Amino acid sequence: MSGEGRARQLCLGTAQLGMKYGIANRLGQPSVADAIRILTHAIASGVTSLDTARAYGESERVIGQALKQVGTDKVTVLTKLGALEHLTGEVSDAVLYREIDASIDASCHALGLKSLHTVMLHRCAHLRAYDGRIWRRLQQHKAAGVIGRLGVSVYDPTEALVAFATEGIEHIQLPFNILDWRWVAAGVPAARLRRPQVLVHVRSVFLQGLLVTSPSAWPALEGVDSQAIVAELEACAQSLGLASRAELCMAFALSQGWVDQVVIGVESLPQLQENLRLADRSRLSDADCMAVCSRLPRVPLPLLNPSLWSRCAQVRS
């Protein structure tokens, strides 16, 4: 597969282009001009998907400006419904639908599009919230041609299995990395085989940058020997002829047969170029992936959920 072809397995995450995002973000939000350069370079390099959301600050607006330059025929934009956080208690159809419709209209306006290729729920709980009315309203927009595909962003295997079991789901995004044993243990790849029409995108393949940083930067969590894990990751990379932990993490994610695309967020053009280079490297065989999994420890759940790091322990200085 050519470099441009392999770039098609990457989906550019754009949260960092719309706001300061992520614990590993050291550069902050890029300027609009720099963000547009990142987007146009990604598309020119063969990236065919952009991931965004109403909750990602100026991300949709920046993408819309980039699309004016490159056109809309070379790239697919996947966005997420607003989080609807301010809605509480009993909500009438009129109020709920007004919020949903406003989110969709705002996404279309910011992106400069008449319809949206893919809209995901930002929370799996919204599949059933308000007696399923959020999901039914999105299905109405799909029937009207305003939305092409419907999906959901999930955070754990239980939510993923709910999503796979939900009629009308066509796209699932989930966090996955080389240490994350939960998905296979829960049977998520098998669920995907039963629903082959559902596209699966995985995010956080570097675990918010933790897997490529110094052991001293890891959160001090019970049962986590960061030095031993990093040493084993480096040993695995070396045994497979890979240059770095980053290359190993990327190759492992891209080699999963149940994964369609890997979502990678960047803050700068050099970061994008480095991720494109990593994606252009050779893939791992099933045997290689199994060997890697057998060597790595079964890490405790708190390590796999960045939202728990600050609650469980202070990060080492």
CATH number, residue 73: 3.20.20.100
List all residues 6 or more positions away from 129 whose beta carbon is below 8 Å from its beta carbon: none
- pLDDT of res. 316: 37
- pLDDT of res. 311: 57
In a domain, 316, yes or no: no
In a domain, 222, yes or no: no
- pLDDT of res. 37: 96
- pLDDT of res. 29: 77
Burial 175-188 (b: 16+ CB within 10 A, else e): bbbbbbebbeeeeb
- Joined together, the tokens standing for residue 259 give 């994964």
Residue 43 lies in domain: 3-210+257-282
H-run or E-run covering 148:
strand 147-153
In a domain, 313, yes or no: no
Low-confidence ranges of the chain (pLDDT < 50): 22-23, 25, 313-317
In a domain, 305, yes or no: no
In a domain, 122, yes or no: yes
- pLDDT of res. 114: 96
State how many domains the chain has.
1
Q: How far is CA 34 from CA 17, 31, 58, 60, in A?
A: 9, 5, 13, 15
Task: Output the pTM of the full model.
Answer: 0.92
- pLDDT of res. 25: 47
In a domain, 183, yes or no: yes
What CA–CA distance (Å, rounded) separates 257 from 84?
34
- pLDDT of res. 27: 55
- pLDDT of res. 310: 75
- pLDDT of res. 181: 97
Amino acid (1-letter code) at residue 176: F
pLDDT tens-place string over residues 283-313: 899 999 999 999 999 999 999 999 888 755 4
Long-range CB contacts for residues 128-135, cutoff 8 Å, separation at least 24: 130/91, 130/96, 133/93, 133/96, 133/97, 134/81, 134/84, 134/96, 134/100, 135/166, 135/168
